[in-house]
Amino acid sequence: MAENSLPSPGDMVIHDYRPQEKPLVNESLKCLIHQESEAIIKTIQDLDPDVIILQEVDIFCQRSGNRDHMQELCKSLELLGGFVCEFEEIDSPVRKLRDAVSRNVYAKIQDTNSSIQGGGVHGNAILSKHDIDFRVLEHRKDAFDWAKDGGKFKEPRKGKRYTLVGTVNASPLPPIICYSVHLEVFTGIINRIHNFSDILEDAASIAEKYPHQIIGGDLNTMAHSIVRLSPKYACDRYRWMSLGDTESNWFDRHVMAVYRDPQHEYNLRLAAAGFPFSMAPIRFIRFTWRLLGSLKLFELVSGFDLETLKRARNPGFYDPWDPDEITLHNPDYFGLFKAKLDWTMVRCMDVRQKWIGNRNYSESDHAYLMVKVTPDSKEKLDNAHEIWNHRRRQWQPNKSAPYWRSTIGVSVLILVLTLVTHWLLYLLGPFM
């Protein structure tokens, strides 16, 4: 890429600053998931990961000092890195200064007459000491129309969400597929799962050839707590239909807990549209489906189209952190909002060790996650479903808690609907 040229949304940029000496490889790899920021280079050097999965990497963005952060990262850390451009930030006077620049730059210039109004591009990246083959995964649907509606939030930009896929070759280990994903924030559960289901479908389509996989990134699972009151961040029916639960727990039970069994073509828990976790609604849906010969009714009720219900089945990923883990705690809104936005999903690999850091959010507004993984042997690959079940139980010791919250929340919702129904019947009684 020329010095002053910028990639367009969907384009890739690759830098290779690795030394000639090949890195030593043992039986495990360390993988770091983080939000890019100016302060993370020292942290990465201290942690010494083999693979780094990053989101919000800036290239010549005025908000971060008009520098090529992707090239700086690869050069400073002596790594191979691939970057996919998601958005071009448009210079515009509608931008607030705090949105146009990073916190560090904002602190330096807030008392000056600055003309900074945006500019540059940003996207997702994967960096490694080892060889990587990169490609871009394009999603079926746009969760948010940035060209049309970005100005409403004072963030005019061009582009859309893309997922970067890298095949890491660290011989003698088998190839490992890594996904760097950043789901949309200005939408709701439905569109986030639409987009995430594309990643699960891609992973399943190559799982026989490449069984060892990692999905890392910011899924923006945040439509709960006080955010339910915001149509800006919680934009669909599940702001209420997931009442009593966090989005991360809801996502874990309705997507990650549904194994991609060839005997079951669709994710009926999504079709159940957020009922309390039990088999009764699923049995009812299966019975109705067979009776009507179609899931169209449940597509309308749940908001998920048939293709998403088919794709949103887990081909064997598990997250070694509890769905209640906190990776962002926003000081706004009186400190009431906190959530697990960041995920490390591992397939056909054993997590031997895990780290979480930046708890004071000094480097970034997200905590970082890191795992040390060992690829499964052929014997374990032959029993992938059973191993997956075991690992989900292993890493979620308090798995009954979210079920109680969901049941309580839905019970409250049913009570409210019952009271409203009785009130309407009372009002309409004289006319019936």
DSSP 44-90: HHHH--SEEEEEEEEEEEGGGTSEEHHHHHHHHHT-EEEEEEEEEEP
Residue identified by tokens 């050097």 is 45
Alpha-carbon distance of 256 to 283, in angstroms, equals 20
Residue 99, pLDDT score: 52
Of 243, 224, 216, 230, nearest to 186 by C-alpha is 230
Residues 6 or more apart from 362 whose CB is under 8 A from it? 39
Alpha-carbon distance of 208 to 201, in angstroms, equals 13
State which amino acid sits at residue 190.
I
Residue 212, pLDDT score: 99
Determine if the peptide bond prior to 172 is cis (ω within 30°): yes
Instruction: Give yes or no for a contact between 25 and 170, defined as CB atoms under 8 angstroms apart.
Output: yes
For the domain made up of 12-261+315-399, the CATH class stated in words is alpha beta
Residue identified by tokens 């989900």 is 392
Concatenating the DSSP letter of every residue in 254-289 gives IIITSB--TT--S-HHHHTTT--SSHHHHHHHHHHH
Residues 9-56: tens digit of each pLDDT: 999 999 999 998 888 777 888 898 887 666 789 999 999 999 999 999
In three state form, how does the secondary structure of 118-176 look?
A: CCCEEEEEEEECCEEEEEEEECCCCCCCHHHHHHHHCCCEEECCEEEEEEEECCCCCCE
C-alpha neighbours within 13 Å on the C-beta side of residue 357: 14
Cross-strand partners of 121? 59, 88
DSSP β-ladder status, 67-68 and 51-61? antiparallel
Residue 23, pLDDT score: 84
Q: Where are the domains of the chain?
A: 12-261+315-399, 262-312
3-state SS, residue 299: helix
Instruction: Give yes or no for a contact between 89 and 123, defined as CB atoms under 8 angstroms apart.
Output: no
Per-residue model confidence as pLDDT tens for the chain (432 residues): 545 689 999 999 999 999 988 887 778 888 988 876 667 899 999 999 999 999 999 999 988 888 999 999 999 999 999 999 999 998 888 776 545 444 443 443 344 344 445 789 999 999 999 999 999 999 999 999 998 888 888 889 999 999 999 999 999 999 999 999 999 999 999 999 999 999 999 999 999 999 999 999 999 999 998 889 888 899 999 998 888 889 999 999 899 999 999 888 999 999 987 665 556 678 888 888 888 888 888 899 899 999 999 999 999 999 999 998 999 987 766 677 889 999 999 999 999 999 999 988 888 889 999 999 999 999 999 999 999 999 999 987 655 555 665 566 667 667 878 888 888 888 877 776
